[in-house]
Amino acid sequence: DSCIQFTRHASDVLLNLNRLRSRDILTDVTILVNRQQFRAHKTVLMACSGLFYSIFTDSLKCNMNAFSLDPKVDPEGFAILLDFMYTSRLTLKESFIVSVMNTAIYLQMDHVVDTCHRFIKSSD
> What is the closest distance, in whole angstroms, from the C-beta atom of residue 22 to other proteins in the complex?
7
**Residue 61: burial class (beta carbons within 10 Å; 0-12, 13-18, 19+):** exposed
Could you tell me how many residues of this chain bind other proteins (CB under 8 A)?
Answer: 17
Q: Which is nearer to other proteins, 9 or 89 (CB)?
A: 9
**CB-nearer residue toward other proteins: 22 or 57:** 22
24 binds other proteins (CB under 8 A): no
Q: How far is the CB of 9 from other proteins (least distance, A)?
A: 4
Q: Does 65 bind other proteins (CB under 8 A)?
A: no
Q: Does 26 bind other proteins (CB under 8 A)?
A: no
CB-based contact 85:49 (threshold 8 Å): yes
Enumerate the β-bridge partners of residue 37. 32
Collapsing DSSP to helix, strand or coil, 16 comes out as helix
d(C-alpha 27, C-alpha 97), whole Å: 28
**What DSSP letter does each residue of 49-72 carry, written as one string?**
-HHHHHHHTSTTTTT--EEEPPTT
- The reply on whether position 8 binds other proteins by CB under 8 A is yes
Residue from 20, 32, 92, 120 touching other proteins (CB under 8 A): that is: 20
What is the spatial distance between Cα 77 and Cα 103, in angstroms, rounded to a whole number? 6
Contact between 19 and other proteins by CB under 8 A: the answer reads yes
- Binding residues for other proteins, rule: CB under 8 A, are 1-9, 12-13, 15-16, 19-20, 22-23
